C-alpha cells in the first residue's frame, strides 16, 4: 500500500494565555494514514454518535481519567475530540494533539475553546508557561488504540516524548489491543521504564476490570513522586 506523507508547520490558534506552543512539523507517516483513517474522520465520529443514540455510554475513558482526579490532561491522539471534549465539559484543563488534520479540524469545530495541536507524538512539544519549555500534565491519555496506530518502530520515542510531558506523579493511561502491530505489553512496559515511569495498573477495561491476560488492556504508568 502506498504511503501517504504530510508536512505542515502549524501555529495553534487557540493557545491559552501563558502557554505558547512552538510550531510543530508533521512529516511522518502513521499506520492511521496507511489504513485510510485520515479519509474517514466523519465515519469515525458517526460511530460514536450512533452508539450514544442507542443509549450506550461512550465516556468510559473520561471516567477513568477523572478517577485519578487530575487538573490537567493531554489527550494524545485525540482524533475528533470525543475524550478531550468530555473532559473539558467536566472542567479539566485539556489539550488535544493529533497528526490527522481532518480529524483535528472536526474536533476544533465542535469545541473551539479547547486547545488543539497538530503534531506527531514522537516529537511534538506542548510548551509550558513562563520559562518552562515543556508543560507537565497530571495525565496523558491515549485512547482508541493510539499505540497501535503510530508508525511501527517509533513506539519507544512516543512513550519517551509523552513521559516528558508528565508532571511529577503524573500518569500515562493507554488502552490498546495486541496483534495490530508487533508491539507487546512487555515492550510497552519496557519503553515506559526506560522513560523513568513505573507500572501502576493494568486492567482489562476502562472501568477497571482486573486484567485477565487477554489481548486488550488499559495500562497506567506513573512518574514517581520526587524523593
Instruction: Tell me how far apart the alpha carbons of residues 41 and 100 are, in angstroms, rounded to a whole number.
Output: 9
C-alpha angle 118/143/90, rounded to 5°?
85
- pLDDT(38) > 80: no
Do the Cβ atoms of 157 and 90 come closer than 8 Å?
no
- pLDDT(164) > 90: yes
Do the Cβ atoms of 218 and 177 come closer than 8 Å?
no
Mean pLDDT across 204-226 = 96
Distances (CA, A) of 106 to 60, 110, 179: 21, 6, 29
Which residue, 93, 143, 153, is CA-closest to 122? 153
Tell me which fold the domain 25-222 belongs to.
Answer: Rossmann fold (3.40.50)
pLDDT for residue 129: 78
Residues 6+ apart with CB under 8 A from 155: 147, 181, 183, 187, 188, 191
Instruction: Kindly report, residue by residue over 11-35, the tens digit of the pLDDT.
Output: 343 333 333 343 444 444 455 545 4
pLDDT for residue 31: 52
Mean pLDDT across 191-220 = 97
Out of 3-17, 183-197, 208-222, least confident range? 3-17
Residue 23 has phi, psi (to 5 degrees) of: -60, 145
- pLDDT(178) > 60: yes
Out of 126-140, 180-194, 208-222, least confident range? 126-140
Residue 155 has phi, psi (to 5 degrees) of: -60, -45
pTM of the model: 0.81
Out of 8-12, 110-114, 175-179, least confident range? 8-12
pLDDT for residue 50: 76
- Per this entry, what is the length of the chain? 227
Mean pLDDT across 79-105 = 96
Residue 132, classed as helix, strand or coil, is coil
Out of 1-15, 56-70, 192-206, least confident range? 1-15
Q: Where are the domains of the chain?
A: 25-222
Residue 32, classed as helix, strand or coil, is helix
Residue 72, classed as helix, strand or coil, is strand
- pLDDT(167) > 50: yes
Record the cell numbers describing residue 92, joined without a space: 479539566
Mean pLDDT across 136-158 = 96
Instruction: Tell me how far apart the alpha carbons of residues 119 and 117 are, in angstroms, rounded to a whole number.
Output: 6
C-alpha angle 192/193/199, rounded to 5°?
75
Work out the mean pLDDT of the chain and round it to a whole number: 83
- pLDDT(125) > 80: yes
Which residue, 52, 102, 49, 107, is CA-closest to 78? 107
Write down the residue that cell numbers 488543539 correspond to: 116
Mean pLDDT across 109-113 = 96
Residues 6+ apart with CB under 8 A from 203: 209, 210, 211, 217, 218, 219
How would residue 153 be classed by pLDDT, with cut points 50, 70 and 90? very high
Amino acid at each position: 500500500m502506498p504511503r501517504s506523507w504530510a508536512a505542515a508547520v502549524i501555529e495553534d490558534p487557540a493557545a491559552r494565555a501563558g502557554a505558547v506552543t512552538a510550531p510543530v512539523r508533521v512529516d511522518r507517516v502513521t499506520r492511521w494514514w496507511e489504513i485510510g483513517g485520515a479519509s474517514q474522520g466523519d465515519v469515525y465520529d458517526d460511530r460514536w454518535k450512533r452508539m450514544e443514540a442507542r443509549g450506550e455510554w461512550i465516556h468510559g475513558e473520561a471516567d477513568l481519567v477523572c478517577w485519578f482526579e487530575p487538573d490537567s490532561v493531554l489527550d494524545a491522539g485525540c482524533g475528533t475530540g470525543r475524550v478531550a471534549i468530555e473532559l473539558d465539559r467536566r472542567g479539566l484543563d485539556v489539550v488535544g494533539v493529533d497528526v490527522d488534520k481532518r480529524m483535528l479540524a472536526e474536533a476544533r469545530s465542535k469545541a473551539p475553546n479547547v486547545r488543539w495541536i497538530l503534531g506527531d507524538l514522537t516529537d511534538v512539544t506542548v510548551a509550558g508557561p513562563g520559562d518552562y519549555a515543556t508543560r507537565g500534565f497530571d495525565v496523558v491519555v491515549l485512547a482508541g488504540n493510539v499505540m497501535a496506530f503510530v508508525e511501527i518502530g517509533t513506539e519507544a520515542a512516543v512513550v519517551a516524548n509523552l513521559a516528558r510531558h508528565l508532571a511529577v506523579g503524573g500518569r500515562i493511561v493507554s488502552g490498546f489491543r495486541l496483534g495490530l502491530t508487533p508491539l507487546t505489553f512487555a515492550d510497552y512496559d519496557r519503553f515506559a521504564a526506560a522513560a523513568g515511569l513505573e507500572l501502576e495498573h493494568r486492567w482489562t477495561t476502562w472501568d477497571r476490570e482486573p486484567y485477565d491476560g487477554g489481548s486488550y488492556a488499559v495500562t497506567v504508568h506513573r512518574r514517581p513522586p520526587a524523593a
